[in-house]
Structure 1
Amino acid sequence: MKIPSSIWTLLIGILLTLVSLWYGQNHGLLPTAATDEADLVDGLFNTMMVVSTGIFLLVEGILIYSAFKYRRRPGDNSDGPPVEGNIPLEILWTAIPAIIVLGISVYSFDVYNEMGGFNPHAVHEAPITQQSMKMPGAAIAATLNDTPPSTEPNLNQQKSDEAMQDPATAAVRNADQIPQKRNAPGVGIVSPTIGPVPAKEGKPPAMIVNVTGLQYAWIFTYPETDVTSGELHVPVGREVQLSMSANDVIHAFWVPEFRLKQDVIPGRQSEIRFTPKKEGNYDLICAELCGPYHGAMRTQVIVEKQEAFDNWIQEQLVASTETLNQAVAVNTEDISPDKFLAPYTKDMGIQPEILYQIHH
């Protein structure tokens, strides 16, 4: 009995759907999801894998079938039949990808919003002037060049001043040497920001850590405790806000397991919020080419229980006190601060090169 082509098409469609759904959830291409936000990104990525796997199998399957079915037979030297085209088919295979792209775009925007990346209030923080309405390019020019001059408050400067109230952060950042950029008229805050999720809108973060990027290291300061470290420690289950800026060139804060990557820009105050959910040590990588030693600009993010985090904070406070006492007691030589403090800062996870960059 010959099976109708419509039945074959249905069976093949069911098989492709099942294979695509299975592979889209079991591809194993992503590292461990270590934050609440990572689950949202993984859901989007898995959906895209399901769609792309189905399209790949369908297109390649048709190509292989056509190459075998309509191959030239031995002794057949005739021309192929002239095909003028099929308008309904062309409309169909144009409309389907358009619908898929539109659906993924809407889904992507929803994920971005759920992560706190979209803040409609920021658009209205700066006034929309008649000039900016007539000249949309002026917003971009203002973003890059700080022109035209504005009398509006400099939000980047305000955030920088807040961060500099922490003595440990002030000792690390070159805020006096790097002017803080103004926001573009009519656009609002343009610094890279992933804010609170909609459910936590308007609520302060559980913990704030100031992050400073410089060639070629990360320095983390904890304003509530005056602790400075070369690696990031955060407690599991608590929302963390990273307030970031750079001392020299553009860097990028990237932790693959967190599914977060954010530019760290001189003259800009970048912010990201996340909630770690899985204990462990994770690599923090600079994802922006920042110089010849860019590949070595990496450190660790340690997610630990609250008790272990509190113990680490206390250890850092004790270590810094002992280091200061030893420095005062034995510093009888006339040497530069970075060379003198190098043996002590090594135990804190801060390399001598970091101190050199701070003082130069």
Structure 2
Amino acid sequence: MNIPSQIVTLLAGIALTLVSLWYGQNHNLLPIAATATASLVDNLFNTMMVIGTGIFLLVNGILIYSVFNFGRKPGDETDGPPVHGNIPLEIVWTAIPAVIVLGLSIYSFDVYQSEGGQDPMDHSVAHHGKNHNQMAKMSGAAIAAPMIADATDAVTETLPAKQDAPTLGTVSPKVGDTSKPPEFVVNAAGMQYAWLFTYPDTEVIAAELHVPIDREVLINISANDVIHAFWVPEFRLKQDAVPGRQTEVRFIANRLGEYPLICAELCGAYHGAMKTKVVVESQADFDTWLQTQIASAEVGLDAALATNPAHMTEPEYLAPYAKEVGITAEMLQQLKPSGESVHDHSMS
């Protein structure tokens, strides 16, 4: 039984649409969502996956069909038909991608604004941060252990003045409404190769970020030396930390737990080790942690300095990674320039 080509095309289109919709919603490529607005990013990603899957199947289906249907038959030495172009078809396959890209651009910008993204057309200090003269100038080397006191002062100067920060306990607006102060403010400073977090109205400086669950959080982000990036995959947030500028992110964490905070901009030799964590905990647990930190104000800074790979020798930094892949101290020795040595104890 010969089925009309129109029916075959319709059935293929329905099948392609159903497969694309199913895979776009069931790809399981994203980590758990731990903020109130993470679903906005997930829905955008799912939409892109649906469209991408459909285009992939359509293009590859046409290619496979063309190979079998229009390929040269055995013994056929003739040339193909002299087809030089199809203007209507070229307009269609140019217009459709243009409409898709425009639609996704509008959709993604709407998600960005809903998450509290900064207005790119607003060039005021409130949206684009303090100028360079208001930011501390401290290199990564300046946070060496013998200079803890100086580093503490420099980190404090790097971050916005306390009187500029909204008062804690303010009623939370909807995420994305930057006209009102958030409930909770933390200042984050990125440096080679650590994150330091200060809490307004306290003397707390911590090497990891603690936030209470179900409260809107504003993170004021700055960089002391080179560009870094504040990235928490489970929060669906990524924001550059730019030297001489202040940026920000807003979120409401709605899932208890610990989540990795990663620097997502190449910032130097030990970029891969610039990691810490975000701890989302109940208000009671957060209050307990904060009081503990207040009682020992320098603990957070000491912790960051103790684990900062900028103070490690190359053998000390590479030892755990080399051991995992079976590289010995002798093998590392061969990679070192003459006159330098790698000590065996670093690989133990």
TM-score normalised according to structure 2 size:
0.73
Distance 1:16 1:70 in 2: 22
Q: Which letter does structure 2 place at the counterpart of 1:33?
A: A
Q: Which residue of 1 aligns with 2:306?
A: 352
Partner of 2:155: 173
Contact 1:205 1:241 in 2 (8 A): yes
SS in 2 for 1:351: helix
What SS does the corresponding residue of 1:33 show, helix, strand or coil?
A: coil
Once the 2 structures are TM-superposed, how far is the Cα of residue 222 of structure 1 from its aligned partner? 0.8
1:107 is matched with 107
Counting matched residue pairs gives 285
1:114-173 deviations in Å (ceiling 9; x for gaps): 1121437834779xxxxxxxxxxxxxxxx9xxxxxxxxxx94479869xxxxx9996242
Partners of 2:96 and 2:224 in 1: how far apart?
48
Determine if the alignment matches structure 1 residue 29 to structure 2 residue 29: yes
> Structure 1 stretches of 5 or more lacking a match?
127-142, 144-153, 162-166, 179-195, 324-343
- CA displacement at 1:84 relative to structure 2: 2.9
Q: Spell out, residue by residue over 1:298-352, the C-alpha distance to the aligned partner (whole angstroms, 9 max, x if none).
A: 01111111111111112222344xx8xxxxxxxxxxxxxxxxxxxx669x74333
In the aligned structure 1, how far is the partner of 2:178 from the partner of 2:304?
35
Task: Please give the per-residue CA displacement for 1:238-264, whole angstroms capped at 9, x wherever unaligned.
Answer: 111111212221111111111111111
Q: Which amino acid aligns with 1:351?
A: L
Per the TM alignment, residue 201 of structure 1 is displaced from its structure 2 partner at its CA by 3.7
The answer for the alignment partner of 2:41 in structure 1 is: 41
Greater CA deviation, 116-125 or 105-114?
Answer: 116-125
Q: Which of the residues 211, 219, 223 maps onto 1:242?
A: 219
Amino acid across the alignment from 1:278:
R
Q: Indicate which of 260, 272, 275 corresponds to 1:298.
A: 275
Distance 1:9 1:114, change over 3 A: same
Q: How does 1:310-325 map to 2 (within 5 A)?
A: 310-320=287-297
Assess, with a 3 A threshold, how the Cα gap between structure 1 residues 356 and 6 changes in structure 2: closer, same or farther: closer
Tell whether 2:204 aligns with 1:227: yes
Counting aligned pairs with the same residue, the percent is 59
In the aligned structure 2, how far is the partner of 1:7 from the partner of 1:302? 56
Confirm whether residue 98 of structure 1 aligns to residue 98 of structure 2: yes
- Map 1:116-131 to 2 at 5 A: 116-119=116-119, 122-123=122-123
1:272 aligns with 2:272: no
CA contact (8 A) 1:221 1:228 kept: yes
Residue 308 of structure 1 aligns to a residue in which SS?
A: helix
Q: Distance in 2 between matches of 1:29 and 1:312?
A: 34
Amino acid at match of 1:5: S
1:82 matched to 2:82? yes
Q: CA deviation at 1:51?
A: 0.4
Match of 1:215 among 175, 192, 210: 192
Pick one of 237, 256, 260 that aligns with 2:237. Answer: 260
CA contact (8 A) 2:175 2:251 kept: no
State the Cα distance separating 1:293 from its structure 2 match: 1.0
Deviations along 1:29-72, whole A, 9 cap, x unmatched?
Answer: 11111112221111111111100100110010010011011222
Counterpart contact for 2:194–2:274, Cα < 8 Å = yes
Give CA-to-partner distance per residue, 1:201-255, whole Å, 9 cap, x none. 4211111111111111111111133211111001111111111212221111111
Partner-residue secondary structure (3-state), 1:36: coil
Given that residues 168 and 226 in structure 1 are in contact (C-alpha distance below 8 angstroms), is that contact kept between their aligned partners in structure 2? no
- TM-score, with normalisation over the residues of structure 1? 0.71
AA matched with 1:47: T
Shift, 1:174, TM fit: 7.3
Contact 2:234 2:259 in 1 (8 A): yes
Residues 356, 12 of structure 1: CA spacing in aligned structure 2 closer, same or farther, 3 A cutoff? closer
Change (3 A) 1:308 1:281: same
Equivalent-residue separation in structure 2 for 1:205 and 1:247 (angstroms) = 25
Distance 1:121 1:93, change over 3 A: closer
State whether structure 2 residue 221 is matched by structure 1 residue 283: no
Equivalents in 1 of 2:310, 2:123: separation in Å?
40
Contact 2:193–2:310 (CA<8 Å) still a contact in 1? no
CA positional deviation for 1:6:
0.6
**What's 1:56 paired with?**
56
Cα separation, 1, equivalents of 2:174 and 2:22 = 30
Cα distance in 2, alignment partners of residues 316 and 175 from structure 1: 20
| Partner SS for 2:8 | helix
54-63 vs 78-87, which moves further? 78-87
CA contact 1:115–1:197 (8 Å) conserved in 2: no
Letter in 1 for 2:16: L
User: Could you tell me how far apart the structure 2 residues matched to 1:294 and 1:207 are?
Assistant: 29
User: How large is the RMSD of aligned CA atoms in angstroms?
Assistant: 3.1
